[in-house]
Amino acid sequence: MLEYDFMRNAFAAATIVSIVSGLVGYFLVLRGQTFAGHALAHVGFTGATGAVLIGIAPIWGLVAMTVAAGFGMGALGERLTQRDVAIGIILVFALGLGLLFLHFFTSYAMQATALLFGNVLAVDIGTVWILLGLGIFSVAVLAVISRPLLFASLQPELAEAKGVSLRLYSILFLVVVALATAECVQIVGVLLVFALMVGPAAAAQRLTIGIGKGILLSAGLALLEAWAGITLAFYTDWPSSFWITTLSAGIYLFATLVGAGGTRRPARIGFRSLP
Amino acid sequence: MNAIAFRDATLRLGGRAVLAGVSLEIATGEFVGVLGPNGAGKTTLMRAILGLLAASSGTIQVLGRPAARGNPAIGYVPQMRSAFGTIRLSGFDFVAGIVDGHRLGLPVLGKSARAEVDRALDLVGARELARRPLVETSGGERQRLLLAQALIGRPQLLLLDEPLMSLDPHHQRGVVELVRSLQAELGITVLFSAHELNPLLGALDRVLYLGRGQAALGTVDEVITAPVLSRLYGSEIDVVRLKGRIFVMSGGQDAERDEHRHWDGSAHVHDFQGAPHDDA
């Protein structure tokens, strides 16, 4: 299957994006911010369709909107917790706005499907290079901030006392998440970002309790799911996003059943139960 | 040298003076129990010592210097959060994850950093339990891991915010004894806040009792008296001593337990469901 250009591009794009999502997703799950990835993707849809409307490549609209939203969410920080209704309404509004933008371009129905559900087989070589550049940038930023980010994630009050700015790292991290989300949309689409960003990372945290192993496993599982998904799509002619989401769900289910994360002793989860 | 010195310090939270014009001195190597009703400013006092909240007037000196954020000589165990139960890491990685956390870079531990983590775990006797997943540890075991985290960087001053919360009496005693022995072994100063005095009796050198913007610092016999506590509570308080334990009563009710139950009962209600309290 690698004799086709579109398959080589698909594998290259999937490799880059799944590694980025696996690495970023690990911290996203650790920080309990998985919903942020979902939210950023929805907002990104408006950006992508808006970009189409004014005649530029959707990926740049996607990047601009997700990064702006990630910055905003990071800056608002704590004030966003317990605001599920407000956030939900804004997300639905973002999707609705995106729909309106698409409405002006009726010929872009295919593009709408690709944005919503992804179409990795349609990625061209130019996009692969963009994905590589954005991917290297976001992983580099993540690497530089990872130690204070980990501190702020594990023990925010202590981190704050030791001089780590919680807001700064929250903003920087959500900007990285925004870039990763924009990348992910190219593979699995706006609606299915959870599959690559959260699924492998959550499964990895069920399978290992070490940070280093968890990060590598998260990226490895994401890579496996993306490659296997594309391969299965090639041989079955079913959508690659279907296969990737199915693998993501399957691996997560497997991890929760066999995992070391403490699920076998539910009575002890949460310190509220008596010791 | 004093570990902590407040001079006429006022601490405000959202316009309200939590502590008003408080002066106190805590000597190096002291074990001070910080008590008082909820909202009396126990956490606020610690945040001020950490430099996270500036005094609106007066001064706060910590280990001979004005209180400032990022002081590496202070170890801190914040109140436990419910988010804890979702962190799927081993106890070791949970403790090791904060080493040098104020510096940029990859969280990769060198030999000396690893030794530092092992030392902290050994000090609290958590070397073995650190191999287990955090979500499988009990409340008492988590407090030991939090204590190990606070000991990273070898602090001279340890601030512990309600470490006994939601622990049963047996684990409460374990934590208090551990902190007491650490304090003696390392020669550090300890501020230990709690809802109730009794678990700390025998371990503490002095009591810092907060209430209505004021503070009283002294030995148990000096502070836990009807006149002092009546002033801090703003109502008539009786102090009853029974079999080596002390009960602070307000109108025939146990005031400390009363605070516990009514002021933030939602957070502690589980304490009363299964395990009776020391004083129950």
Q: What is the pLDDT of residues B100-114, one digit of tens each?
A: 888 898 988 889 999
Q: Using CA atoms, how far apart are residues B153 and B103, in angstroms rounded to an integer?
A: 13
- Highest mean pLDDT among A113-122, A136-145, B12-21, B162-171 belongs to A136-145
Q: Which residues of A touch B77 (CB under 8 A)?
A: 158
Pull the structure tokens for residue B89.
């890491």
Q: Which helix (H) or strand (E) holds B11?
A: strand B2-13
User: What phi and psi values does residue B191 have, to the nearest 5 degrees?
Assistant: -110, 120
Q: Which of A131, A5, A139, A6 is nearest to A63 (CA)?
A: A131
What is residue B31's predicted lDDT score, i.e. its pLDDT? Answer: 95
Residue A111, pLDDT > 80, answer: no
Query: How many angstroms separate the most distant Cα atoms in chain B?
Result: 59
> Residue range A128-151: average pLDDT?
96
**Which of B77, B87, B170 has the highest number of chain A CBs within 10 A, making it the mutation to test binding with A?**
B87
What is residue A58's predicted lDDT score, i.e. its pLDDT? Answer: 87
Please answer whether residues A219 and A19 qualify as being in contact, where contact means their C-beta atoms are separated by less than 8 angstroms: yes
> Residue range A180-188: average pLDDT?
91
A102 contacts: CB under 8 Å, gap ≥ 6: A49, A52, A108, A109, A111, A112
Q: Using CA atoms, how far apart are residues A97 and B171, in angstroms rounded to an integer?
A: 56
Please, which residues bridge with residue B76 across strands?
Answer: B159
What is residue B82's predicted lDDT score, i.e. its pLDDT? Answer: 63
Chain A's closest residue to B72, CA to CA, is: A162
What is residue A129's predicted lDDT score, i.e. its pLDDT? Answer: 96
Residue B80, pLDDT > 90, answer: no
What is residue B265's predicted lDDT score, i.e. its pLDDT? Answer: 36
Q: Which of A145, A194, A179 is nearest to A34 (CA)?
A: A194
Q: Using CA atoms, how far apart are residues A91 and B184, in angstroms rounded to an integer?
A: 56
pLDDT category of residue A7 using cuts at 50, 70 and 90: very high
Q: Which residue is associated with the tokens 């009990």?
A: B138
What is residue A269's predicted lDDT score, i.e. its pLDDT? Answer: 38
Residue B54, pLDDT > 80, answer: yes
Residue B270, pLDDT > 50, answer: no
pLDDT category of residue A109 using cuts at 50, 70 and 90: low
Model pTM?
Answer: 0.87
**Could you give the percent of chain B with pLDDT greater than 90?**
56
Chain B's closest residue to A157, CA to CA, is: B78
What is residue A115's predicted lDDT score, i.e. its pLDDT? Answer: 83
Of the listed ranges A1-15, A123-137, A231-245, B258-272, the one predicted with least confidence? B258-272
Q: Using CA atoms, how far apart are residues B115 and B90, in angstroms rounded to an integer?
A: 17
**Which of A144, A154, A216 has the highest number of chain B CBs within 10 A, making it the mutation to test binding with B?**
A154
What is residue A27's predicted lDDT score, i.e. its pLDDT? Answer: 96
Q: Which residues of B touch A159 (CB under 8 A)?
A: 98, 101-102
pLDDT tens for each residue of B166-204: 888 888 999 999 999 999 999 999 999 998 899 999 899
CB contact under 8 A, B138 and A262: no
CA angle at B57 for the pair B55 and B59, rounded to the nearest 5°: 65
pLDDT category of residue A5 using cuts at 50, 70 and 90: confident
- Of the candidates B83, B133, B137, which has its C-beta nearest A32's C-beta? B83
Q: DSSP label at B277?
A: P
Residue B32, pLDDT > 90, answer: yes
pLDDT category of residue A60 using cuts at 50, 70 and 90: very high
Residue A145, pLDDT > 60, answer: yes
Calculate the average pLDDT of chain A: 87
Q: Which residues of B touch A212 (CB under 8 A)?
A: 108
CB contact under 8 A, B101 and A162: yes
Q: Which residue is associated with the tokens 């992983």?
A: A139
| Distance, C-alpha B84 to centroid of its chain | 18
Pull the structure tokens for residue A19.
């590694």
Give the β-pairing of B206-211 and B214-218. Answer: antiparallel
Chain A's closest residue to B75, CA to CA, is: A158
What is residue B139's predicted lDDT score, i.e. its pLDDT? Answer: 86
Please answer whether residues B10 and B55 qualify as being in contact, where contact means their C-beta atoms are separated by less than 8 angstroms: yes
Q: Which amino acid is at A49?
A: T
Of the listed ranges A61-65, B36-40, B45-49, B89-93, the one predicted with least confidence? B36-40
In Å, what is the CA distance from B85 to each residue of A13, A90, A263, A269, B274?
36, 30, 11, 6, 20
| Distance, C-alpha A149 to centroid of its chain | 18
**Which of A147, A160, A167, A208 has the highest number of chain B CBs within 10 A, making it the mutation to test binding with B?**
A147
**Which stretches within chain B are classed as H helix?**
42-49, 91-96, 111-123, 139-151, 169-186, 220-223, 226-233, 255-258, 265-268
- Of the candidates A148, A159, A214, which has its C-beta nearest B104's C-beta? A148
Residue B25, pLDDT > 90, answer: yes
**Could you give the percent of chain A with pLDDT greater than 70?**
90
Q: Using CA atoms, how far apart are residues A123 and A76, in angstroms rounded to an integer?
A: 35
pLDDT category of residue A264 using cuts at 50, 70 and 90: very low
3-state secondary structure of A180: helix
Q: Which residues of A touch B168 (CB under 8 A)?
A: 274-275
Q: Using CA atoms, how far apart are residues A184 and A152, in angstroms rounded to an integer?
A: 25
Residue B44 touches partner A, C-beta closer than 8 Å? no
Q: Using CA atoms, how far apart are residues B189 and B74, in angstroms rounded to an integer?
A: 10
Residue B149 touches partner A, C-beta closer than 8 Å? yes
What is residue A146's predicted lDDT score, i.e. its pLDDT? Answer: 96
Q: Using CA atoms, how far apart are residues A152 and A160, in angstroms rounded to an integer?
A: 7
Please answer whether residues B126 and B91 qualify as being in contact, where contact means their C-beta atoms are separated by less than 8 angstroms: yes
